[in-house]
């Protein structure tokens, strides 16, 4: 006898793909598809006024890390690009560490408030999260620029005579990124801490652990998934940051995002821009995969 339920299943499957069609169409058209075209562009020759010549070339990929000396035509590492990559990775790691330093106690503080207060405290974290990134960056700029609040205050107090130069430095980019991405660290940390069973903490104290040992041996291992999630959530957008380094770095402290933009503006080297984009994407994907693996390893330990 024929399987009566298979006809019903075929129908359900058709209905499912029909429902998915509009979303998938838009996502292919304006997200996934263009990425493939970008990949293709990275293997083409740059046009004279931007755009590309349809001529295959490895040049763009070569130029991501290497350069040929203008004078003696020798091969060498591209110092400019490497220093930008290094700055991006360095600043992103520092941002992640600083966000963790500030975010962990903050999330813990919220998670240990009485239940009714927690949502209110979290709202204070969520509001900046949903506030325009540009506005938040701009708010920090106002604070630290030469005629900004901090310098004006210090001069008025007589502590300094002339403004301290803070804007357009690596420090200002770091400050801006920590400020902007901090909520991304607190959200997953809080999510894992809220589920923390405090009878386990009690058990730790009962078994002679000090506060620091309870933190290190009980709390930290239990909220590790939150720490990993928060770190990735901060690291990934930091690495691809564009607005914050542009506004806080003022054009002389480039990060990868700004280097990419440069190729589509003054640089007029679209294939190089495309190759740099794909490189950034690859680094991010590796980070995300490391995260998935780490999260997967955590799974058996969860209750």
Partner 1 sequence: MATAISVRNLRKVYPGQPPVVALADASIDIKDNEFFTLLGPSGCGKTTLLRMIAGFEHPTAGSLTMHGENLLDLPPYKRPVNTVFQSYALFPHLTVAQNIGFGLEMLGKPKAEIRQTVDEMMALVKMTEMADRQTGQISGGQQQRVALARALAPKPRVLLLDEPLSALDFKLRKDMQLELKRLQKETGITFVFVTHDQEEALTMSDRIAVMSAGEIRQIGNPRQIYDQPAERFVADFIGDTNFLPAEVIDTKGQTVTIRLSSGKEIAARAAEGGSHKGKVTLAVRPEHANIGPEADGLLGGTLGEVVYFGTDTHYHVALEDGTGFVVRQQNRPDAAAQFSTGDRVGVHFAPGIGQVLKD
Partner 2 sequence: MSKAFNISRQNGFTTIAITCFVLLYLPIVLLVVYSFNSGPSVAIWEGFSWRWYQSAWENDQVQEATVRSLVIALWASAISTTCAVLAALATTRTRKFKGQGAVFAMINQPLMVPEIVTAVALLIFFAMIKVSTGYTGLAYLIVAHSAFCIPFAYLPIRARLQGMDLSLEQAAADLYATPFKVFRRVTLPQLWPGILAGAMLAFVISLDDVVITEFVKSAGQDTLPTYMLGQLRRVVTPEVNAISTVLFGISVTFVIAFTVLGKIKN
- Name which of residues 38 to 77 contact partner 1 (CB under 8 A): none
User: Using CB distances below 5 to 8 A depending on partner kind, what does residue 226 bind out of partner 2, partner 1, none?
Assistant: none
Q: CB of 175 within 8 A of CB of 245? A: no
Shortest separation between residue 12's beta carbon and partner 1, angstroms: 10
The answer to the question of residue 208 lying near partner 2 (CB under 8 A) is no
Q: Total residues at the site for partner 2 (CB under 8 A)?
A: 91
Shortest separation between residue 300's beta carbon and partner 2, angstroms: 21
Shortest separation between residue 3's beta carbon and partner 1, angstroms: 6
The answer to the question of residue 18 lying near partner 1 (CB under 8 A) is no
The answer to the question of residue 27 lying near partner 1 (CB under 8 A) is no
The answer to the question of residue 264 lying near partner 2 (CB under 8 A) is yes
Residue closer to partner 2 (CB basis): 87 or 246: 246
Shortest separation between residue 52's beta carbon and partner 2, angstroms: 9
User: Using CB distances below 5 to 8 A depending on partner kind, what does residue 4 bind out of partner 1, partner 2, none?
Assistant: partner 1
The answer to the question of residue 4 lying near partner 1 (CB under 8 A) is yes
**Out of 80, 127, 164, 290, which residue is the one contacting partner 2 (CB under 8 A)?**
127
The answer to the question of residue 16 lying near partner 1 (CB under 8 A) is no
Shortest separation between residue 19's beta carbon and partner 1, angstroms: 18
The answer to the question of residue 8 lying near partner 1 (CB under 8 A) is yes
């Amino acid at each position: 006898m024929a399987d009566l339920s298979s006809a019903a299943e075929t129908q359900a499957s058709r209905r499912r793909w029909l429902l998915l069609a509009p979303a998938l169409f838009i996502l292919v058209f304006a997200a996934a598809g263009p990425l493939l075209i970008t990949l293709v562009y990275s293997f083409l020759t740059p046009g004279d006024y931007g755009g590309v010549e349809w001529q295959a070339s490895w040049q763009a990929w070569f130029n991501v890390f290497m350069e040929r000396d203008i004078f003696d035509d020798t091969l060498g590492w591209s110092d400019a690009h490497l220093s930008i990559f290094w700055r991006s990775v360095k600043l992103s790691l520092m941002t992640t560490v600083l966000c963790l330093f500030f975010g962990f106690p903050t999330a813990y503080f919220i998670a240990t408030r009485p239940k009714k207060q927690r949502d209110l405290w979290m709202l204070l974290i969520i509001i900046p999260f949903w506030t325009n990134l540009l506005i938040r960056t701009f708010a920090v700029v106002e604070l630290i620029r030469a005629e900004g609040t901090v310098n004006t205050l210090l001069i008025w107090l007589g502590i300094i005579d002339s403004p301290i130069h803070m804007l357009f430095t690596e420090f200002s980019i770091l400050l801006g990124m920590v400020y902007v991405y901090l909520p991304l660290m607190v959200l997953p940390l809080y999510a894992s801490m809220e589920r923390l069973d405090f009878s386990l903490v009690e058990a730790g104290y009962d078994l002679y652990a000090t506060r620091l040992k309870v933190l290190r041996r009980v709390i930290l291992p239990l909220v590790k998934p939150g720490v990993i999630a928060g770190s990735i959530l901060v690291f990934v957008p930091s690495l691809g940051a564009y607005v914050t380094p542009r506004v806080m770095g003022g054009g002389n402290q480039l990060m990868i995002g700004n280097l990419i933009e440069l190729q589509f503006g003054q640089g007029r080297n679209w294939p190089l821009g495309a190759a740099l984009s794909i490189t950034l994407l690859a680094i991010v994907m590796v980070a995300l995969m490391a995260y998935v693996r780490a999260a997967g390893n955590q799974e058996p330990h969860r209750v």
